[in-house]
C-alpha cells in the first residue's frame, strides 16, 4: 500500500450543500479500489488563479489515502469521468513528511485561532516646558503664525475654454 494525497477542485456549479455528497462519491471510489482514507479536509471555496471551464471559483478538497499502486490508475480514470470534478492532482506522499506537515498545519491553525497578545502601555502626555513670562507676552495672546500661502484665484469654465482655444490656435499657426 502506497500513501497518496489527492487535491480535488470541485465545480462551483455545485452548491455547498452538495459538496459532502461529492466527497462521499470520491471516498467510495477509493474504498471500492481497496483503499483506506487517512485524512480529509474541506478547504472551502476559493478563487482560481485562472478561469477553468469558464469558472472562476472552485471548492477545494484534500484527501490523504492509502491505496495499492496498481489501483491508482483506476481511481484516476474514474475521477476524470466525474462531472463535478473540475481538476484533481494525485501525488505520492512521504509518511514522515506528512506527519511534519500535519503538525505544522495544526500549529498554524492554532496560531490563527488564538488572538494575539497585545500589551497596552499607558499613554503618557508629553510635558510642555514652561515659557518664561514677559510683559510683551502678557499683553498679546499667543497667535500661531500661518505660513504665507498664495491664494488661488478661482477660474471659471468659460475662461479655461478661452485659454484652451487660444493655445490650440497658436499651435495651429506655428505648424
Range of the structural domain that residue 84 is part of: 2-113
State residue 36's pLDDT score.
93
Q: Structural domain tally of the chain?
A: 1
Q: How much is the pTM?
A: 0.54
**Does 141 map to a domain?**
no
- Domain with residue 63: its CATH number is 3.30.70.60
If you search the block for the grid coordinates 474514474, which residue do you land on? 78
State residue 134's pLDDT score.
58
State residue 154's pLDDT score.
79
Rounded distance between C-alpha atoms, residue 116 and residue 103, angstroms: 20
**Does 64 map to a domain?**
yes
**Does 132 map to a domain?**
no
Neighbouring residues of 11: CB distance < 8 A, sequence distance ≥ 6:
53, 55, 58, 59, 83, 84, 85, 86
State residue 151's pLDDT score.
72
**Does 80 map to a domain?**
yes
Residues 139-174: pLDDT tens digits? 555 556 666 666 777 778 888 888 888 888 887 777
**Does 164 map to a domain?**
no
Residues 112-144: pLDDT tens digits? 877 666 666 666 666 666 666 655 555 555 556
**Does 8 map to a domain?**
yes
Instruction: Confirm if 10 and 61 have CB atoms less than 8 A apart.
Output: yes
Residues 33-53: pLDDT tens digits? 999 999 999 999 999 999 999
Residues 61-111: pLDDT tens digits? 999 999 998 899 999 999 999 999 999 999 998 766 767 778 888 888 888
Percentage of residues in the chain with pLDDT exceeding 90?
A: 48
Amino acid at each position: 500500500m502506497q500513501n497518496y494525497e489527492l487535491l480535488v477542485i470541485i465545480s462551483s456549479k455545485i452548491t455547498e450543500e452538495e459538496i459532502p455528497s461529492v466527497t462521499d462519491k470520491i471516498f467510495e471510489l477509493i474504498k471500492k479500489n481497496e483503499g483506506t482514507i487517512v485524512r480529509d479536509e474541506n478547504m472551502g471555496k476559493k478563487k482560481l488563479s485562472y478561469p477553468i471551464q469558464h469558472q472562476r471559483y472552485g471548492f477545494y478538497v484534500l484527501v490523504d489515502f492509502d491505496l495499492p499502486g496498481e489501483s491508482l490508475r483506476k481511481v484516476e480514470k474514474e475521477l476524470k469521468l466525474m462531472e463535478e470534478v473540475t481538476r484533481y492532482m494525485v501525488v505520492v506522499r512521504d509518511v514522515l513528511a506528512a506527519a511534519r506537515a500535519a503538525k505544522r498545519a495544526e500549529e498554524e491553525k492554532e496560531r490563527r485561532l488564538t488572538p494575539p497578545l497585545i500589551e497596552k502601555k499607558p499613554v503618557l502626555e508629553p510635558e510642555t516646558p514652561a515659557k518664561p513670562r514677559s510683559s510683551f507676552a502678557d499683553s498679546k495672546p499667543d497667535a500661531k503664525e500661518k505660513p504665507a500661502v498664495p491664494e488661488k484665484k478661482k477660474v471659471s469654465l468659460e475662461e479655461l475654454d478661452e485659454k484652451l482655444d487660444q493655445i490650440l490656435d497658436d499651435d495651429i499657426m506655428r505648424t
